[in-house]
Amino acid sequence: MENIKKFACVINCMDGRVQDAVKDYMKKNYAVDYVDMVTEPGPNKILADASTNSAQLNSAVIEDIKKCVGVSIHHHGSKVIAIVGHFGCAGNPTEKLEQITHLKLAQKTVENFSFQAEIILLWVDGDWQTVEKII
């Protein structure tokens, strides 16, 4: 019998400092074997802006994110999607509280992708190890 491996999908910043912490968090807290990373600089801001005029500037990026998440959901069977913000983000150079607002708006955008998956929000602190789930 084939051993089925479980996947999760993460919409993450391209910043390499956050990759391992997020991957480890997802494996530990969601019992997955693999984590598909969809990366952009400051993706929480890009997705948060989806309802504003600046969304037109990023529409191709948003569509690419949606396509990549779709591959993770449909081909790898991911059941959870995490959206990540982090300390010191060059793509979204704002403080934690503003980034959390962006995460919550980004969640609405990803919900509109209409994938059958749980969506969670994560924050990575400046020690590059501490990952906090945002409620």
Is the distance from CB of 78 to CB of 72 less than 8 angstroms? yes
Model confidence at 1, in pLDDT bands (50, 70, 90)?
Answer: very low
In this prediction, residues 2-22 reach a mean pLDDT of 93
Q: What is the pTM of this model?
A: 0.94
Q: How does DSSP classify residue 91?
A: S
Tens of pLDDT along 67-113? 999 999 999 999 999 999 999 999 999 999 999 999 999 999 999 99
Location of structure tokens 């929000």: 121
Model confidence at 5, in pLDDT bands (50, 70, 90)?
Answer: very high
Tens of pLDDT along 14-52? 999 999 999 999 999 999 999 999 999 999 999 999 866
Is the distance from CB of 33 to CB of 27 less than 8 angstroms? yes
Q: Can you list the domains of the chain with their CATH numbers?
A: 7-134 (3.40.1050.10)
Question: CA of 113: how far to CAs of 53, 61, 92, 120, in Å?
Answer: 19, 14, 22, 14
Q: Which two tokens stand for residue 49?
A: 């802006």
